[in-house]
Structure 1
């Protein structure tokens, strides 16, 4: 956990000429992509973040697209991605047990997707004028966040923003939108944002989610006559397309999927 933060810092400290070969403004770029701010257009406030994002699974199919400078990047991030994926799948197994789902429910296509988001929040001379990231819920299944030792993450609870203070050697685990739907609302997606700081902050977010063509719906064993489904069926790919338009407008991306009683 410490090594990836060190190597990530080394990457963002590289000269612009070295980093810019990964830069892309195409939000549909599925390779290794460097960007600044976020993809949402028409920003009302600037989002004070540099971001490197790359696919992690299957590792052997994607690692050659990752940076080879710093020299340790592929080795350190490769090992980390395997271990953090194993941890995420273990947590999903425990969630199965807690919900009463059959063991291994999230294996296969529901956890096929795995990519990493390396977030660099530079020191900001006036943090009151910007945000690191706006309010949002993650569209995938589960997020494991290594947030280092600099605070900045806030979670929304009872209409109040609550700071999530970093704990040494600990992950922040976020329930994502797909897990809320599969659990038929028993689990709630965590809405969160990032505030800027006058000191540099580095975080590594690992997202585990479905493949694009998999059908998402409340788990059949959690639905009954007395507990009807709350959400319609849809493909994850269709959801991601509406998510990137609804979220910047402040709309709940799950609202149009709810079954009206």
Structure 2
């Protein structure tokens, strides 16, 4: 816990261990803002920012408030609040879970805990701040409903069974709450490096502080926060299931020299032994499978081995390379 960025960053210069190699640094601090990310209105006639999604705005505000309150706790309190489960279904880290072995560090602290089934895991969630469980429980339940609506719409769009994602492919829901303190030199480090998410979809609640960038057409573009909208990120497993019709979004997080940024992501991941493979309805003689079939546990091991390098991962998982 003594390594937590939030514990020592005030008034400090950027430590050498946080200075990324030249090729991995943010480069231009000012990038064009994305003007073609679709804003999907689930309350309208059409079925990716999502608005009118059914999650109450006051619940979103309360959740963001308690997430910030948690990250404002003293390090020793955060350690106590995330060490209740010996199986580590709730834990806290800085930079990444591989802090001790990674070559360089990222400018973030992260809280992670499982959310499904709620009655099994909520007992291990933080009890401080005092409202954490009573707010985050309903929040994750509402976002869970939204996630299954989105996955059902995705199934319909792909032309596969509407309940394709209703069991093992999405039953492991995990909340990640990242905190990025003010950074002394945003040009030299990142909050999170370039990657595609290793889960199915990620429903992201941004604060009002900008930081998310997406790699599109060989350049980085910024994703401005829209009040009470969620950002939906497609992960690599969904790219496999769709047989390449959907692409995992490559993205990163830049830091800010003046203000802190807090975000909350609810990931819909397959269970460990669930097969991740192209949907059979999308495969025929004219459309062969582009990806190998493997358990999600095996996928994760290959994802970690590739160090989030999309090209390296593609080579390992593709049936055509």
Q: TM-score normalised by the shorter chain: which range applies?
A: over 0.9
Which of 178, 190, 207 matches 2:267? 207
Match of 1:104 in 2: 163
| Counterpart pick for 2:173 among 106, 114, 130 | 114
User: Does structure 2 conserve the Cα–Cα contact (< 8 Å) formed by 1:113 and 1:209?
Assistant: yes
For 1:17, which of 59, 67, 76 is the aligned residue? 76
The runs of 5 or more residues in structure 1 that have no matched partner are: none
Q: What's the counterpart of residue 48 of structure 1?
A: 107
- Report SS of the residue matched to 1:167: coil
- Which residue, 216, 228, 242 being the options, matches 2:288? 228
Structure 1 residues 206-250: Cα deviation after superposition (integer angstroms, max 9, x where no partner): 100111001111111101111111011100001111211212567
The 1:248/1:88 distance shift into structure 2, 3 A limit, reads closer
Is 1:6 aligned with 2:65?
Answer: yes
Is 1:85 matched with 2:137?
no
- 2:81 and 2:127 in contact (8 A); partners too: no
CA distance in 2 between partners of 1:96 and 1:17 (Å): 45
Distance 2:208 2:145 in 1: 23
Structure 1 runs of 4+ with >6 Å offset = none
User: Over the residues paired in the alignment, what is the CA RMSD in angstroms?
Assistant: 1.8
Name the stretch that deviates more: 6-15 or 180-189. 6-15
- TM-score after normalising by structure 1: 0.94
What secondary structure, in the 3-state scheme, does the structure 1 residue paired with 2:168 have?
Answer: helix
Alignment equivalent of 2:241, drawn from 175, 178, 182: 182
**Alignment: residue pair count:** 258
Q: Secondary structure at the match of 1:53?
A: strand
Q: 1:154 to 1:57 in 2, by over 3 A?
A: same
Q: Residues 148 and 241 (structure 1 numbering): CA distance in 2 closer, same or farther, change over 3 Å? A: same
| Alpha-carbon contact 1:146-1:171 (below 8 Å) kept | yes
Matched, 1:172 2:240: no
Please say if 1:37 is aligned against 2:37: no
Distance 1:248 1:188, change over 3 A: closer
Whether the 8 Å CA contact 1:22–1:34 is kept in 2: the answer is: no
Q: Distance in 1 between matches of 2:284 and 2:157?
A: 18
Calculate the TM-score normalised by the size of structure 2.
0.77
Report the counterpart of residue 196 of structure 2 in structure 1. Answer: 137
